[in-house]
Amino acid sequence: YRDNPIADKRAHHNALERKRRDHIKDSFHSLRDSVPSLQGEKASRAQILDKATEYIQYMRRKNHTHQQDIDDLKRQNALLEQQGSPAVGLFTTQILSSPIWPIGWVLID
């Protein structure tokens, strides 16, 4: 190829295009493996995108519901603290001393 600059340019372009296609293929495999219903399955790119979209929408709804639950619990906790309920301190102490309290979880005031 050294004597033919056009062939060199074409070979370089082909190598870059192959690298780009490989990256896209690897990215689709990674996305497929990130969607629980597709893990280890054979799926077309369209199926991967459809299922990934469904999964993201599902997780967003689930996250929204969990955030609402957290907000409700914070409001309930604040109300109990305003009322001076001794049960709040006792409950917090029991949770933190519980052997099932997950390591790495932090209680936020």
> Taking the domains of the chain in order of start, what are their residue ranges?
5-97
Do the Cβ atoms of 77 and 95 come closer than 8 Å? no
Do the Cβ atoms of 48 and 32 come closer than 8 Å? yes
pLDDT digits (tens, 9 = 90+) for 32-49: 999 999 998 899 999 999
The pTM score is 0.64
Handedness of CA 91, 96, 100, 103 (dihedral sign): positive
User: Mean pLDDT over residues 78-87, rounded?
Assistant: 78
Has residue 25 got a pLDDT over 80?
yes
5-97 homologous superfamily: Helix-loop-helix DNA-binding domain (4.10.280.10)
